[in-house]
Structure 1
Amino acid sequence: MELYNGRPEDTSGRKEKEIKVYDILDSLHIPYIRADHEAVMTMEACEEIDKALGMEICKNLFLCNRKKTSYYLLLMPGNKALKTKELSQQIPTTRLSFASGEDMETYLNVTPGSATVMGLIFDPENKVQLLVDEELLEQEEFGCHPCVNTSSIKMKTADVFDKFLKEIHHDYIMVKLSDGNEQE
């Protein structure tokens, strides 16, 4: 798998939402490494991409409360399993479940399999609350999709949380998720 510095030279055939991600990162002078690949839908499918980028891409889950009045994008290490009860108590909210693909498209302009923090650029009204596992904030580098699951990008974690989120007027709540070995 070939790695590239920055945006693709030829953007024909690329989706507008992907190009918008590169436009924002470039305008903020955030350097990033890009890998183009076949569509990936699972963390297991990302293993080859992880090896190429020299890091693990985080798991991105789009969640909502029971009444579907609050939406959350959870970023967590790929090796952790989500325990909704544990997370719900930290926010606090009613028990969480996975939001629909339709809602994901409405709020983040992404389809299932391509959820990403970059999708928050399409949420100017801050309807989606970003939740981040503390382990991700401790890592030097951060990997995600640029709103499509046929490319992955790697950049400095500080650039995502200090520059990118400030630019798009989003904040995050840090959560502490267990490693998944305990019973819920």
Structure 2
Amino acid sequence: MELQNGRPENVNDRLDKEIRVYDFLDKLSVTYQRVDHEAAMTMEACEEIDRTLGDDTAICKNLFLCNRQETNFYLLLMPGDKPFKTKDLSAQIGSARLSFAKPEYMEKYLDITPGSVSVLGLMNDHEEKVQLLIDEDVLKDPYFGCHPCINTSSLKFTTKDFTEKIIPALEHEPIIVNLENYR
């Protein structure tokens, strides 16, 4: 597993949604690094990927959530080692009880399948159905890591580019939350 600069040279075997991510980042003049790997479905599977990306990179849990009525959808970015307590988050955002949204909503709004959830999927949310939620601790590392809408590659770019270029271009104003670390 090796860190590469920018988009893959050969994109013939890549999905369109992955190529759209590289086009999006290139259009924004975001410098990024990429590591290709086996499908990473769990945080545990991401440990070797995390080591390749480096200790200076925030690797997030990306949780796709909804309210009980399935009318409000949320993408929560939080540190991978923090426990998730729905009650705390619900109180902070003024929502009824939250739960994990069904995969079909993830595909409909973000063009992403389970295990590939990424903030970059918001570029596909043209109806603006998904509210971005970011735990403040995610923004503390100098670099940010995420999937390019598929779970066989991971990206690394500066947190500054994430907050100053990528988030504004996604047109999903985030709500910054503070999730307790119950350790």
Which TM-score bucket, shorter chain as reference? Answer: over 0.9
The residue type equivalent to 1:114 in the other structure is S
SS in 2 for 1:57: strand
Computed over aligned residues only, the root mean square deviation of the Cα atoms, in angstroms, reads 0.9
Q: Is the 8 A contact 1:83 1:180 kept in 2?
A: no
The residue type equivalent to 1:4 in the other structure is Q
Distance 1:56 1:134 in 2: 11
Partner in structure 1 of residue 27 of structure 2: 27
SS in 1 for 2:155: strand
Once the two structures are superposed, what CA deviation does each residue of 1:22-79 show, in whole Å capped at 9, x if it has no partner? 0010011100010000001000100000001103521100000000000000000000
Q: 1:126 aligns with which of 125, 128, 141?
A: 128
The residue type equivalent to 2:47 in the other structure is E
TM-score, normalised to structure 2, is 0.97
Partner in structure 1 of residue 43 of structure 2: 43
SS in 2 for 1:34: strand
Partner in structure 1 of residue 16 of structure 2: 16
Partner in structure 1 of residue 108 of structure 2: 106
SS in 2 for 1:58: strand
Distance 1:90 1:69 in 2: 18
Q: CA deviation at 1:168?
A: 2.4
Once the two structures are superposed, what CA deviation does each residue of 1:102-136 show, in whole Å capped at 9, x if it has no partner? 11101110000010000000002211000000001
Partner in structure 2 of residue 151 of structure 1: 153
* Count of aligned pairs: 181
The worse-fitting range, judged by mean Cα deviation, of 91-100 and 152-161 is 152-161
Q: Is the 8 A contact 2:86 2:99 kept in 1?
A: yes
Give the unaligned 5+ runs of structure 2: none
Give the unaligned 5+ runs of structure 1: none
Distance 1:61 1:165 in 2: 17
The worse-fitting range, judged by mean Cα deviation, of 10-19 and 163-172 is 163-172
Q: Is the 8 A contact 1:114 1:148 kept in 2?
A: yes
Partner in structure 1 of residue 67 of structure 2: 65
The residue type equivalent to 1:116 in the other structure is S
TM-score, normalised to structure 1, is 0.96
Distance 1:57 1:65 in 2: 25
Q: Is the 8 A contact 2:63 2:77 kept in 1?
A: yes
1:87 aligns with 2:96: no
Distance 2:170 2:88 in 1: 29
List structure 1 segments (4+ residues) > 2 angstroms apart after TM superposition.
Answer: none
Distance 1:171 1:88 in 2: 18
Sort the Cα spacing of 1:83 and 1:101 in 2 relative to 1 into closer, same or farther, 3 A. Answer: same
